[in-house]
């Protein structure tokens, strides 16, 4: 039998994970190439996520990167100032099944990159 968490525990886990993004300052959502080269860096609100509802926390407003470095996005990392990498995500174009799906993963230098909604769900 696999280890699982109760619903209440999953809520606590979700809050604990996303709260790590707020420690020491404002966290970021960094989109990277498959080779870990930064393509765009977006900034979370001072409180990155609201309180979890069940096992899922929803991000507050995320500030766009209005002058992206550019490249092909393959993954993302949600980072905190003090804690560094907190959440690692796969990224695909819409319908590709990534943890984050973007309308396009190909970004030109200077392009604006935005994320209008983002959630984190604690594992079962």
pLDDT digits (tens, 9 = 90+) for 34-83: 999 999 999 999 999 999 999 999 999 999 999 999 999 999 999 999 99
Residue 2 resides in a domain: no
pLDDT digits (tens, 9 = 90+) for 89-119: 999 999 999 999 999 999 999 999 999 999 9
CA separation, residue 68 to residues 15, 24, 79, 109 (Å): 30, 25, 18, 6
Residue 111 resides in a domain: yes
Residue 72 resides in a domain: yes
CA separation, residue 79 to residues 15, 60, 96, 104, 108 (Å): 15, 15, 24, 22, 23
Residue 40 resides in a domain: yes
Residue given tokens 């507050």 in the structure block: 60
Nearest Cα neighbor of 120 from 15, 45, 2, 5 is 15
Residue 121 resides in a domain: no
Could you tell me the residue range of the domain that residue 73 belongs to?
7-116
Number of domains observed in the structure of the chain: 1
Instruction: Kindly give, in sequence order, each residue whose CB lies less than 8 Å from that of residue 9, ignoring residues fewer than 6 positions away.
Output: none
């Amino acid at each position: 039998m696999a280890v699982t968490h109760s619903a209440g525990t999953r809520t606590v886990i979700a809050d604990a994970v996303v709260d790590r993004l707020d420690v020491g300052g404002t966290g970021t959502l960094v989109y990277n190439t498959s080779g870990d080269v930064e393509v765009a860096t977006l900034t979370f609100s001072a409180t990155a996520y609201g309180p979890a509802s069940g096992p899922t926390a929803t991000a507050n407003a995320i500030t766009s990167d209005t002058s992206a470095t550019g490249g092909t996005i393959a993954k993302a990392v949600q980072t905190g100032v003090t804690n560094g990498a907190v959440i690692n995500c796969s990224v695909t174009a819409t319908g590709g099944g990534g943890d984050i799906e973007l309308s396009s993963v190909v970004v030109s230098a200077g392009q604006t990159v935005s994320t209008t909604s983002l959630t984190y769900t604690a594992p079962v």
